[in-house]
Amino acid sequence: MSTKQQTHSGFSRWMQHKMNARMNRKIRRGNGSFMGMDVLILHTVGRRSGEPRQTPISWFSDGGDGWLLVASGGKNGDPDWFRNLMAHPEQATIELPGDRPVPVTPHVLTGAERASAWDAITTAQPRYGKYQAKAGREYAVVRLTT
Contacts of 82 (CB under 8 A, 6+ apart): 71, 74, 140, 142
Q: Do residues 58 and 44 make contact, with C-beta atoms less than 8 angstroms apart?
A: no
Please state the rounded mean pLDDT for residues 87-101: 96
pTM summary value? 0.88
Mean pLDDT, the chain, whole residue set:
91
Q: Which fold has domain 13-145?
A: Pnp Oxidase; Chain A (2.30.110)
pLDDT digits (tens, 9 = 90+) for 61-82: 999 999 999 999 866 789 999 9
Alpha-carbon distance of 69 to 12, in angstroms, equals 23
3-state DSSP call for residue 48? coil
